[in-house]
Amino acid sequence: MPTVSMTVNGKSVSGEVEGRTLLVQFLREQLRLTGTHVGCDTSQCGACVVHMNGDSVKSCTTLAIQADGADVTTIEGLADGDTLHPMQEAFRDNHGLQCGFCTPGMVMSAVDLLQKNPKPSEHEIREWLEGNICRCTGYHNIVKSIQQAAGA
Amino acid sequence: MPDTAGGPSGIGASVKRVEDFRFLTGNGNYTDDIDRPGQTYAYILRSPHAHAKIASLDTSAAKAASGVVAVFTGEDMQVGSLPCGWQVHSKDGTPMAEPEHPPLAKGKVRHVGDQVAVVIADSYAEAKDAAEKIEVSYEELPAVVDMASALASGAQKVHDDLENNLCYDWEIGDVAQADEAFAKAAHVTKIDIVNNRLIPNAMEPRAAVGEFDRSTGEYTLYTTSQNPHVIRLLMGAFVLQIPEHKLRVVAPDVGGGFGSKIYHYAEEAIVTWASAKVGRPIKWTAERSESFMTDAHGRDHVTHAELAMDADGKFLAFKIDTQANMGAYLSTFAPCVPTYLYATLLAGVYTTPVIYCNVRAIFTNTVPVDAYRGAGRPEATYLIERIVDRAARETGIGQTEIRRRNFIPSDAFPYQTPVALQYDSGDYEATLSAAMAEAKVDGFAARKAEAAARGKHRGLGFSTYLEACGIAPSAVVGSLGARAGLYESAEVRVHPTGSVTIFTGAHSHGQGHETTFAQLVADRLGLPMENIEISHGDTNKVQFGMGTYGSRSLAVGGEAIVKATDKIIAKAKKIAAHVLEASADDIEFKDGNFTVAGTDKSMAFGEVALTAYVPHNFPHEELEPGLDETAFYDPANFTYPGGCHICEVEIDPDTGIVEVVGMTAVDDVGRVINPMIVEGQIHGGLAQGIGQALLETCVYDENGQLVTGSYMDYTMPRADNLPSFSVGTESTLCAHNSLGVKGCGEVGAIGSPPAVINAVVDALWDLGVRDMSMPATPETVWKAIQDAAPAAAAE
């Protein structure tokens, strides 16, 4: 089996994977970073979004070997100890989460949005979130959360 | 940690949620996150056919495959049938047909996704690979997919041992009385309604981990459940014959339920049973495609209804005939949904004096149908509010006027409906007026004209609704066929240094109980929230519980907590009285302090707790040491939230795309503990209601193949499908619980679908469109416009 090495949340890690092993499986099952979730099997729901080399990717449609040598950040790597990232804080302030299952992917996706578009309009936020499904919130408070994080 | 600094934490405060820190940092603990030592993985081979005999089943190659620990089929798994928790009787007195539901199919499969065999291996990939080596020879049978053909004479039977595909033929009301009222009517409005089948789609797919401890003989099941004690009871007593004291069920963090995680599912029994057979823990996690074809679906009614009115538009009588799809087997609560949670709601907010409803529940070769967010009440509300909308148009009375003429007046409570329920409180005029002001209904004509100038059709739709939740008085539901009580329990365990753990039988899977319940206890015991822990979801920790569904957690579970805290306060007063050398009657409890009335002699809550556990100076002759009380609460009635939802849409006639440009909800949910959480619950319900109205539907083809089996086919509401919402509350208090709370979990999904569709009909009425089915997709709307155009031109 091939060995992959990458940096995950600032730490160097490596492990043996099958060719078909997905990045999300490597993160969850080998590294036990279970904050990244799997909500579908067609790359639609976005519960699995992580950052790879600074960009948001769906880790359920990224092979672990594609991430070889990459710098990966998961939801576990976002906060600074007990100090939440401003996006996490904004979700908490605005009740941008309920059951919490879509939340890691939603937050990681939202962080990437503001990297690429620091002052998005409501329309731009809603369009960006097209690849992240939430069944609980109706998105209302997720949009508010992202607006707060953007300083709107 | 709860962030209560700078703000109050008691009842009515929008306290930030206690649970959010762990969810936001990836530290939630969902079932699939749990790994047990020596764990194996299960893959379930499912039927690709809607209806077939299993002619032969050969698992030998799979058993020999790499990493495989065991393969089991229905022949191997000789256990009880998955039970149904509610027995409905037909109008002739006969009990409903109740077919066997084996966890693994025995000889026959009855819907696409039915369980055929389970492969258990060292890894999930090996289990899935080995399943491909199972050789199954199916003899396909004709599939019964739609309800009309299921009822046709000579139809293929879903269950060979039943007489036909009818589960029950039930009625409520007096048909002769209804006919008499119809004979006197000045006007009768008729409508045919399909309430589209939905797939719940909690974002966390179902999962289950079974484990057997050979040393203690105890089984543990970790599962994605809204009610772990109910699963323990159903699976233990009926399927696997494991007594409660040898079966622990844990429902840890659960990623949304919406009803679909109430039920006892085959996979829970399979991993629990097989864990003892293989001697290792077994994890099963649904792939999303499995969720689509095994999670209980919702809705799926076909209804014809007629509403009789006098010359003033006063409703005289309402007659309804409904067919309700049960799917291939009876899910846990399926039979009660189209009867006691639907037909008993058909008075809605109106004074209709006579109601008759006939419901036929029907088996088909589809996934079982059960309660989904709202459960029966959305179906009732959609029917009522669509026919009222139509009646307003036919009589020319107007949308708001016809409703006002028929509202149950606010001084008429308690109000006995003709369909069994007695409403305790409400003010439907208040919610209508508030919603109209919020939605700026006065300015609609101008907005419509402005839209028309841009070539868009703008419409406004109303829904004034009511629902029954806070489920439910045990004696009442027992008389209606429930095989369980629907009380809730709570234990308040005060620790020696004065912190408190609350054990509740309610289960939180997004509702924020760890916050709301802590606020409630903080308010009653005068403690800071950080000294209060809410524990739920583990049958080895929580004494008992009926779980969370039917918007019952606060109205029933919260009341149990209140009862238990009352017992704590009563005992603590006696302890304080002893130490302070006063009479217990003279002890006042306020802000966490026990004070002898009219003096400065006082003990803090923590001091009383310590005295209870270090009882050196303690009234031993009167009291036992310790401070730990349990209460069970059985509600006196359902609770009756209601309100008004107003939807404004804009339709592009060239594409048929419906844009929701305004969604206003003013709801009466009773007393509000945490407004932020209540609003969030309503937002989510509105999204599901708009989803049903415009986007979502489950489609089977004529062979019973599930066409909408993935997120590429089943249209979930995305952020760019929805507007921001305008929500508010206008509350009357529940009259029969101490908190005055009613429930907010389902109102959004119950009230909104007819508001949306009525808005679509309103937008297109002048084009000649007279009806609209859900979901009003661009294709459906565009076709309706095309079909109406010639008719409108001819008029």
Tens digits of residue pLDDT in B463-519:
999 999 999 999 999 999 999 999 999 999 999 999 999 999 999 999 999 999 999
- What is the residue-wise DSSP string for B483-523? SS---EEEEEEE-TTS-EEEEESS--SSS-HHHHHHHHHHH
Residue-wise pLDDT for B426-440, tens only, equals 999 999 999 999 999
∠ CA B737-B742-B747, rounded to 5°: 170
User: Does A16 contact chain B (CB < 8 Å)?
Assistant: no
Q: How confident is the model at residue B4 (pLDDT cuts 50, 70, 90)?
A: very low
Which residues have CB under 8 Å from A44's CB, separation 6+? Answer: A131, A133, B710, B711, B712, B716
The reported pLDDT for the residue numbered B505 is 97
| Nearest CB to B25; choose among A38, A44, A75 | A75
Residue-wise pLDDT for B251-280, tens only, equals 999 999 999 999 999 999 999 999 999 999
Cα–Cα distance for residue pair A29/A19, rounded to 1 Å: 15
User: Does B258 contact chain A (CB < 8 Å)?
Assistant: yes
Which positions 23-82 of A are in contact with B (Cβ < 8 Å)?
A: 28, 32-42, 44-45, 47, 74-76, 78-79
Given a cut of 90, is residue B6 above it in pLDDT?
no
ipTM surpassing 0.95: yes
The reported pLDDT for the residue numbered B795 is 61
Which residues have CB under 8 Å from B232's CB, separation 6+? Answer: B221, B244, B247, B248, B249, B539
Cα–Cα distance for residue pair B788/B795, rounded to 1 Å: 11
The alpha-carbon gap from A124 to the nearest alpha carbon of chain B, in Å, equals 9
User: Does B201 contact chain A (CB < 8 Å)?
Assistant: yes
User: Does A92 contact chain B (CB < 8 Å)?
Assistant: yes
- Give me the total of CB pairs closer than 8 Å, taking one residue from chain A and one from chain B: 181
The reported pLDDT for the residue numbered B93 is 97
The reported pLDDT for the residue numbered B8 is 58
CA B428, B430, B431, B435 torsion: positive or negative? positive
| Nearest CB to A41; choose among B28, B258, B287 | B287
User: Does B5 contact chain A (CB < 8 Å)?
Assistant: no
Residue-wise pLDDT for B93-143, tens only, equals 999 999 999 999 999 999 999 999 999 999 999 999 999 999 999 999 999
Q: Say if the Cβ atoms of A42 and B288 lie within 8 Å.
A: yes
| Nearest CB to B201; choose among A28, A91, A135 | A135
Place of tokens 């669509």: B386
Given a cut of 60, is residue B209 above it in pLDDT?
yes
Given a cut of 90, is residue B791 above it in pLDDT?
no
Q: How far is CA B574 from the centre of its chain?
A: 42
Q: Say if the Cβ atoms of A135 and B25 lie within 8 Å.
A: no
The alpha-carbon gap from B674 to the nearest alpha carbon of chain A, in Å, equals 11
Residue-wise pLDDT for B321-352, tens only, equals 999 999 999 999 999 999 999 999 999 999 99
Q: Could you tell me the two tokens for A95?
A: 């009740």
The alpha-carbon gap from A150 to the nearest alpha carbon of chain B, in Å, equals 18
Peptide bond into B472 cis (omega under 30): yes
Cα–Cα distance for residue pair B92/A48, rounded to 1 Å: 53
Cα–Cα distance for residue pair A55/B659, rounded to 1 Å: 32
Q: At B442, which helix (H) or strand (E)?
A: none
User: Does B20 contact chain A (CB < 8 Å)?
Assistant: yes
Sort out which chain B residues have CB atoms less than 8 A from A139's CB and list them. 687, 717-719, 722
Which residues have CB under 8 Å from B60's CB, separation 6+? Answer: none
User: Does B688 contact chain A (CB < 8 Å)?
Assistant: yes
The alpha-carbon gap from B695 to the nearest alpha carbon of chain A, in Å, equals 14
Q: At B275, which helix (H) or strand (E)?
A: helix B266-278
- Whether the predicted model's global pTM rises above the 0.90 cut: yes
Q: Could you tell me the two tokens for B318?
A: 């309402």
Q: Say if the Cβ atoms of A135 and B33 lie within 8 Å.
A: no
Cα–Cα distance for residue pair B375/B746, rounded to 1 Å: 9
Place of tokens 């429902």: B251
8 A C-beta contact, residue B169 and residue B90: yes
Q: Say if the Cβ atoms of A129 and B16 lie within 8 Å.
A: no
Q: How confident is the model at residue B794 (pLDDT cuts 50, 70, 90)?
A: low
Given a cut of 90, is residue B1 above it in pLDDT?
no
Q: Could you tell me the two tokens for B141?
A: 């049978």
Q: How confident is the model at residue B790 (pLDDT cuts 50, 70, 90)?
A: confident
| Nearest CB to A136; choose among B35, B256, B287 | B256
Q: Say if the Cβ atoms of A37 and B204 lie within 8 Å.
A: yes
Q: Say if the Cβ atoms of A97 and B24 lie within 8 Å.
A: yes
The reported pLDDT for the residue numbered B169 is 98
- Please report, rounded to a whole number, the percentage of residues in chain B having pLDDT higher than 70: 98
Residue B613 burial class via C-beta count within 10 angstroms: exposed 0-12, middle 13-18, buried 19 and up:
middle
**B32: nearest CA partner in chain A:** A34
Q: How confident is the model at residue A1 (pLDDT cuts 50, 70, 90)?
A: confident
Mean pLDDT of A46-55: 98
Q: How confident is the model at residue B9 (pLDDT cuts 50, 70, 90)?
A: low
Mean pLDDT of B780-795: 84
Sort out which chain B residues have CB atoms less than 8 A from A138's CB and list them. 683-688, 717, 722, 725, 748
Q: Would strands B301-309 and B115-121 be described as parallel, antiparallel, or unpaired?
A: unpaired
Mean pLDDT of B207-217: 98
Mean pLDDT of A85-97: 98
A-interface mutation test, from B25, B40, B43, most A Cβ less than 10 A away: B25
Q: At A88, which helix (H) or strand (E)?
A: helix A86-93
Residue-wise pLDDT for B228-251, tens only, equals 999 999 999 999 999 999 999 999
Radius of gyration of chain B (CA): 28
Residue-wise pLDDT for A12-27, tens only, equals 999 999 999 999 999 9
**A33: nearest CA partner in chain B:** B26
For residue A125, count other CB atoms closer than 10 A to its CB.
Answer: 24
Q: Say if the Cβ atoms of A88 and B24 lie within 8 Å.
A: yes
- Closest-CA residue to B292 (of B794, B600, B643, B708): B708
Q: How confident is the model at residue B10 (pLDDT cuts 50, 70, 90)?
A: confident
The alpha-carbon gap from B736 to the nearest alpha carbon of chain A, in Å, equals 29
- Please report, rounded to a whole number, the percentage of residues in chain A having pLDDT higher than 90: 99
Given a cut of 80, is residue B793 above it in pLDDT?
no
The reported pLDDT for the residue numbered B585 is 96
Sort out which chain B residues have CB atoms less than 8 A from A33's CB and list them. 26
Q: Say if the Cβ atoms of B684 and A136 lie within 8 Å.
A: yes
